[in-house]
Structure 1
Amino acid sequence: MPHPLHSSARARDLVRTFGDRHVLHGLDLDITAGQRLALVGENGSGKSTLLRLLAGLEEPDGGALELPSDRGLLTQDTDPADPRTVGQLLDEAVEHVRSLEHQLEDSAAALAHGDASATGRYDRALAAAEAAGVWDVDARLGRMLSGLGVADLDRARPLSDLSGGERRRLDLAALLVRRPALLLLDEPTNHLDDTAADHLTAELLTYPGAVVVASHDRLLLDTVGTAVLDLDDDGPAVGGTLSDHLLRRRAALAAQAVRYDAEQDEIARLRDALAEDGGTTRRVAPGRAMSDRNRFAYGGQGDRVEQQVARRVKDARRRLDDLMTSGTARPPEPLRFRAGPTDVDAVPNGAVFRGPGSDPAALPSAAGTERLARGEALRLDRVSVAGRLAPLDLVVPQGGRLLVTGTNASGKSTLLHVLAGDLAPTSGVVEVAPGGVALLEQEVGLADDRRTPREVLGALARVRGDDPDAVDPHGLLAERDLDRPLAELSVGQRRRAVLAMVVHQGASLLLLDEPTNHLSLRLVDELRHALDGWPGTVVVATHDRWWRAGWAGEVLEL
């Protein structure tokens, strides 16, 4: 019998429904020891549900599921009333490893006393002990607690007294030390700083069992993943990194767009051919009048020619029906930000925000946007917000890219709201060049808004003189969600609606506050590509490691 770490997890035609909604339908999955599956998909696609099924916490509504006996799940939620202490949780984490050590000792003792039948037991116990890391479990536990930043927790401290972040990191450390045969992680880098996330990455790269990770942390998935299961696709898991998968998807969408355009051209030709007013299927010689000799010949072969024409008409109609009913679906347009004014000097209404505590005499002598040098998008002179943002000087050129980083409460969101003009500085002067500002807020609000996305986006389109019916050409929202009140949408759906507004505003300055929050990895990938080709000025505040790792512009650390 193989050791649990060498067991596999297998699902066939898995189905899970909630009411009349199929969360998972016909899903197949195979994963063995040493494999690390990146689980991705839109919010609500079933990632957490699949992890609970694989953990054995829920039963599928259909299909077959084969699981190893030793499984461990890190959930996004913890029990705030858990009566255990820190020490009790850690003791339980190593209990299984201790039991393997005892099994090995017992079988070794039996062999030493001449029990030949214990040979098989000893071999199995030795293999299990080696796989579980019996001999260095205490050292590993210490390294794990230190690497995840919870080594200083008092072991007598009740779990109910821990913060959410402390409890999550402690649970993660316990799971990794325990080494279940099937390790299931739901957003494991939540509450981890860069050092702890790097430690987790290193542990997963050498993990002996099978791993399934659902995460919005693209850097983690790109580094550790050996295959990707995208719940938005109908196909099975595919090998390679998440970046490989997203590249394949972009290529597939490009090919779909080519097929769609070709089929639309063919549909137009077929409709022209079938038109009653001289359709080309009925023309004997298109573009040339029929002579008397042609008429005589045609009359002599009338039946055969009519049959040929009828066959061509029938074939054209059949092909047109096929294209109309089962042709290539129209792909969403690639995400593109609407270009702002090409000549900001010709656009009025540049913005100046002066804090009431600023000293005009201590600032440069010129007033208003005349102080902005040509080519500057924004300038801050000793700008502060009491208790939220320390005094700051900043200049960003037009078309510039600025990444704002820093710890929580360092003032990143505050700075973006000051630049947007909806938060007045306590002191100093903020100047923004003409051309308009668009802000994607970290907290989108709209939870009480009874308007629908179609109404909001349609009103924006009318203001800009666009087609009010083409409210979401990029497919940021599902068709069914366009006519649901914003108040009834999830946080992620509302954020997509706000992103759709930002995309079409045509501002010259774009402010993005934690743009990866509540957005799928697919959409974040599209967002980065859209920014790469946009000529305006961008200021981004984010904790996202992948976004920061690939940043090519300036960086401001608060």
Structure 2
Amino acid sequence: MSIGISLPTRARAHLNATDVCLARGGRPVLTGVSLTISPGDRLGVVGENGRGKTTLLQVLAGTLPPDSGSVHRVGTIGIADQEMPVGDDRTVGDLIDVELAQARAVLRAFEAATLALTEGRPGAERDYDTALAAAESTGAWDADRRVDISLAALGAVTDRDRPLRALSVGQRYRVRLACLLGAGHDLLLLDEPTNHLDASGLDHLTVRLREHPGGVVLISHDRALLADVVTSVLDLDPTSDGLPRTYGGGYTGYREGRRAERERWETAYRDQQNERQRLAQDLSAAQNRLSTGWRPDKGTGKHTRATRAPALVRAVHRRQEDLEAHVLDVPEPPLRFQMPPLEAPRGVTLLRADEVRVDGRLETPRSVHLRSGDRLVVAGPNGSGKSTLLAVLAQTLTPDSGTVQLKRGVRIGLLAQESSSPSRRRAFEVYDAAVGRLISSGALAEGDRIGLARLGLLPSEAAHLPVNELSIGQRRRLDLALLLAARPQVILLDEPTNHVSMSLVEELTQALAATDAAVVLATHDRQLLRDTAAWPHLQV
């Protein structure tokens, strides 16, 4: 959808939000959000699921009023929501016409100004200069050509007579995105624009966003896109004072700034906890002295006892007041993921798959041999058999040919692409039951039990919720916790970044690089592929 605003020159276009706050159902969604977007700015918006990223985009576009704060817009705005409902008979061409309406209005204004100039009307020269500047600043003459280029590059439908309702969700999304990239809007607001794009489409999107002369607000979990495109990052995840943070220096600046912010937060919280503990210990010691320690040795006079007791009472009161006055104003920092030690026998083959093949799913036979500390990336396009190969290695799928051998006593864990149907049991109960089964079966020793809290994957409030009330990202975290609870020596990860926050992905990536377990990874995540570029690759 495009929102038309009287067109300025591109240099004047900007978007400004000041102290925006919004609540839904009594729950704060946005708190104190301030930002400024000018031509050349490309702001990435990040945060866990439910942090208000999409809501913020709607507020910036003007389709949702904030409860408080202000938003000021100058210039034309093109917006791409994650969802694109289609319930009428519009065609691809109709959608293009909607997105290019502003460019065509500019051309009509230029044609009218040109006619007025040729007829010698008063003020025509000034109007002509204004119309020409508007057409040149937006590249209005090339708008249709730019759309056609993007339609082809994104693999979108180019037939303008095709009904939108006849297209898949991904096809409709790509058509709309191509229109936005070609329309020449001053400001682009994009919500997860990498959805439904293949590698060539991602490359085209990256180039077009980097070349866009106006401003861009980009919501994305695609770390590679953020690293390649954004000039600054707005982080909506919790902070020590409850306010969002904006980091300059692109995605690298954001990562460094967030890490430093997190360390300051953890230090301040730890200092306050330590000070409170010290004050509590001082109070306890003073109370002990009051009850026993103030009594002088035998033979000491009553005067000594009488003068010492009031001083000890005053000391207790003073320490009680100190403890009560000590304010804990730094909230507890978010959890950090803690990978448990995964020890694997060295010098032996843990898992061996020879020439395995599955009819219709993994047609070309593949072999995998894994020892302790081995790393492997399974690569290939959708449908090539990556998930099938991992299922065969996990021994949850029997190959039609070839063999799979697992060393006796070796534990193997598979993180599937999607979570299973959610249970109504509370998350910690599901976790504890799984650990109990591992111990009772002898697969895990009692001493190897790991508490859910120790992994740093689910906060206490989430752990006590029924699994069917957890967010997709939280269920994914529970899946990872269940995998690690088994202390696997072979880890198989199928698209592990699906529905997972960027902070957890980074912590998990670092942990996988250091563990003694063998790790096999299948992913399309471009940043994860960059981070594991030195790992051996198996193409399927």
Q: For this structure pair, what is the TM-score category when the shorter chain's length is used for normalisation?
A: 0.7 to 0.9
Deviation string 1:101-135 (CA, Å, 9 cap, x unpaired) is 23223324434444452344333322221221123
Counterpart of 2:180 in 1: which secondary structure? helix
Match of 2:106?
Answer: 100
RMSD after superposition: 3.3
Deviation string 1:462-481 (CA, Å, 9 cap, x unpaired) is 54647989422354334332
Match of 1:453?
Answer: 427
Distance 1:144 1:281 in 2: 81
Change (3 A) 1:300 1:93: closer
8 Å CA contact 2:140, 2:184 repeated in 1 = no
Match of 1:87?
Answer: 93
Match of 2:320?
Answer: 317
Aligned mate of 1:482, from 463, 468, 484: 463
List runs of 5+ in structure 1 lacking aligned partners. Answer: 345-373
Distance 2:384 2:451 in 1: 40
Match of 2:221?
Answer: 216
Counterpart amino acid of residue 455 in structure 1: E
Deviation string 1:216-270 (CA, Å, 9 cap, x unpaired) is 1111112111111111141343322233223322333334444444444444443
Aligned mate of 1:555, from 522, 537, 540: 537
8 Å CA contact 1:333, 1:473 repeated in 2 = no
Counterpart amino acid of residue 140 in structure 1: R
Deviation string 1:186-211 (CA, Å, 9 cap, x unpaired) is 11111111111111111111212221
Deviation string 1:5-37 (CA, Å, 9 cap, x unpaired) is 432222233233332322223322322222111
- Superposition deviation, residue 284 in structure 1: 11
Match of 2:419?
Answer: 444
Change (3 A) 1:467 1:249: farther
Aligned mate of 1:379, from 352, 371, 383: 352
Match of 2:185?
Answer: 180
- Superposition deviation, residue 531 in structure 1: 1.7
8 Å CA contact 1:446, 1:486 repeated in 2 = no
8 Å CA contact 2:338, 2:456 repeated in 1 = no
Does residue 226 of the first structure (1) align with residue 235 of the second (2)?
Answer: no
- Superposition deviation, residue 168 in structure 1: 1.2
Change (3 A) 1:107 1:153: closer
Distance 2:268 2:491 in 1: 34
Aligned mate of 2:337, from 335, 338, 342: 335
Distance 1:214 1:545 in 2: 17
Counterpart of 2:504 in 1: which secondary structure? helix
Please give the TM-score of this superposition, normalised by the length of structure 1: 0.83
Alignment of 1:421-440 (within 5 A): 421-433=395-407, 434-440=409-415
Change (3 A) 1:492 1:195: same
Does residue 243 of the first structure (1) align with residue 252 of the second (2)?
Answer: yes
Counterpart of 2:454 in 1: which secondary structure? coil
8 Å CA contact 1:94, 1:178 repeated in 2 = yes
Deviates more, 1:224-233 or 1:245-254: 245-254
Distance 1:144 1:406 in 2: 25
Change (3 A) 1:195 1:427: same
Match of 1:398?
Answer: 372
Counterpart of 2:369 in 1: which secondary structure? strand
Q: Percent identical across equivalent pairs?
A: 39
Counterpart of 1:67 in 2: which secondary structure? strand
Counterpart amino acid of residue 530 in structure 2: A
Change (3 A) 1:207 1:430: same
Deviates more, 1:121-130 or 1:204-213: 121-130
Match of 2:442?
Answer: none
8 Å CA contact 1:15, 1:60 repeated in 2 = yes
Deviation string 1:426-478 (CA, Å, 9 cap, x unpaired) is 1111123443112211111132x121111122334554647989422354334
Does residue 70 of the first structure (1) align with residue 76 of the second (2)?
Answer: yes
- Superposition deviation, residue 378 in structure 1: 2.3
Match of 2:14?
Answer: 8
8 Å CA contact 2:391, 2:397 repeated in 1 = yes
- Superposition deviation, residue 485 in structure 1: 1.5
Distance 1:554 1:523 in 2: 23
Deviates more, 1:158-167 or 1:234-243: 234-243
Q: How many residues align?
A: 519
Deviation string 1:70-94 (CA, Å, 9 cap, x unpaired) is 2221122222434122233223333
Counterpart of 2:377 in 1: which secondary structure? strand
Alignment of 1:339-354 (within 5 A): 339-343=341-345
Counterpart amino acid of residue 343 in structure 2: P
Distance 1:343 1:468 in 2: 19
8 Å CA contact 1:274, 1:281 repeated in 2 = no
Does residue 190 of the first structure (1) align with residue 195 of the second (2)?
Answer: yes
List runs of 5+ in structure 2 lacking aligned partners. Answer: 1-5, 440-444
Deviates more, 1:215-224 or 1:9-18: 9-18
8 Å CA contact 1:144, 1:173 repeated in 2 = yes
Counterpart amino acid of residue 382 in structure 1: E
Change (3 A) 1:506 1:138: same
Please give the TM-score of this superposition, normalised by the length of structure 2: 0.86
Aligned mate of 1:537, from 511, 515, 518: 518
Aligned mate of 2:207, from 196, 202, 206: 202
Distance 2:431 2:335 in 1: 16
Deviation string 1:291-323 (CA, Å, 9 cap, x unpaired) is 99xx99x969968x966x677655543443355
Deviation string 1:34-64 (CA, Å, 9 cap, x unpaired) is 2111011111111112212222333333332
Deviates more, 1:184-193 or 1:265-274: 265-274
Distance 1:202 1:421 in 2: 42
Distance 2:430 2:305 in 1: 66
Aligned mate of 1:130, from 116, 120, 136: 136
Change (3 A) 1:44 1:264: closer
8 Å CA contact 1:3, 1:124 repeated in 2 = no
Counterpart amino acid of residue 242 in structure 1: Y
